Amino acid sequence: MKAFILTEPTGPAGLQATELPTPTLAAGQVLLRVKAISINPVDVKTTEGKALYGSLNEQSPLIPGWDVAGVIEAVAPDVTTFRPGDQAFGMINFPGHGQAYAELVAAPAAHLVRKAANISFAEAAAATLAPLTAWQGLVTRAQVQAGQRVLVHAAAGGVGHYAVQLAKHLGAHVIGTASGGKVDFVRGLGADEVIDYQQQPFEQAIAPVDVVLDTVAGDTQLRSLNVLKPGGQLVSILGLTPDTPARAAERNVTAQGMLVNSNEAGMQQVADLLASGALRSHVSLTVPFAELPKALEQVQTGHTQGKVVVTL
């Protein structure tokens, strides 16, 4: 099979196309013929050697990638949930190595869900790590309730654009931050208020909120503590700054970091919301498999709108 491996941690340029044997299936796994792969900032960080989850040598040859959609080609004898021919998608083995940049992937059946016929492979591949992060942040951690006020940072990005839709679906009043050219996009996702964070400090434009989903970190995270109501919560998908716990305690709010996990709840709910149209994937760029590094270069800019997907 064709695959991309990381030969040196020099960014997207460190990825090389190669031929590898078809993976063999372990118990609980299915063999997925990949039709689409989505790219996240963590993919880029992995190629830069910043998030390798085990060294290059230990993993050699290292096939990066986590987000896939495709067709089941074979199943291990103990798998009863899928059959050859089923269309499925999911985030494989995160944290860990999903080995998704390949024509064929051995994936734990438990990390995949069925793809509805009305959703394309590209839309399904996009709706994996990013909306799962939004689900695990807003539902599992923050337990957002109808009527609450929720601030989503980087609301036009991969995680943010799903988080806005999900928070609206949960019945929240949603406020997003985005730069000027993306304000209309975020409003179109259903956000009640959109703040151009480059035109004014967001905290001056927002009445107090119950929940902040922090996708930016640093100073944005610290300033976000000031817009929380007493008892409010900040969930950061980038970890907490050293000053955040003490400042949160002073303000009588809570702050926690989180890392999305393939073994936690949310993927089936994401699939159901996608099938019903309550959640939509906005794919701003698709790149053919042979040019996969170009997809990472786009994500590396930090200014992606929605998702970037590689198609096979």
Ligand X SMILES: NC(=O)c1ccc[n+]([C@@H]2O[C@H](COP(=O)([O-])OP(=O)(O)OC[C@H]3O[C@@H](n4cnc5c(N)ncnc54)[C@H](OP(=O)(O)O)[C@@H]3O)[C@@H](O)[C@H]2O)c1
Please report which residue ranges of 23-174 form alpha helices under DSSP H.
Answer: 41-47, 56-59, 121-126, 129-135, 158-169
Considering beta carbons, is residue 112 or 258 the nearer one to ligand X?
258
Considering beta carbons, is residue 31 or 69 the nearer one to ligand X?
69
Distances in whole angstroms, Cα of residue 29 to Cα of each of 61, 83, 85, 109: 20, 12, 15, 5
Q: Give me the least distance between CB of 296 and ligand X, in Å please.
A: 11
Q: Give me the least distance between CB of 172 and ligand X, in Å please.
A: 18
- The footprint of ligand X on this chain (CB under 6 A) covers a number of residues equal to 31
Distance between CA atoms of 131 and 75, rounded to whole angstroms? 26
Q: Give me the least distance between CB of 219 and ligand X, in Å please.
A: 9
Please, is 59 exposed, middle or buried when counting C-beta atoms within 10 Å of its C-beta (0-12, 13-18, 19+)?
middle
Choosing from 84, 231, 288, 302, the residue that interacts with ligand X (CB under 6 A) is: 302
Handedness of CA 142, 146, 152, 156 (dihedral sign): positive
Stretch that binds ligand X, among 6-14, 21-29, 66-74, 302-310 (CB under 6 A): 302-310
Stretch that binds ligand X, among 67-75, 97-105, 226-234, 257-265 (CB under 6 A): 257-265
Distance between CA atoms of 207 and 155, rounded to whole angstroms? 18
Map residues 108-147 to x or -, x wherever contact with ligand X holds by CB under 6 A. Answer: ---------------------xx--x--------------
Applying CB under 6 A, does 234 fall inside the site for ligand X?
A: no
Applying CB under 6 A, does 235 fall inside the site for ligand X?
A: no
Distances in whole angstroms, Cα of residue 296 to Cα of each of 92, 100, 169, 196, 304: 18, 14, 30, 26, 11
Distance of CA 22 to the CA centre of its chain: 27
Name the site residues for ligand X (rule: CB under 6 A): 40-42, 129-130, 133, 153-154, 156-160, 177-179, 182, 197, 215-216, 220, 237-238, 258-260, 299, 302-305
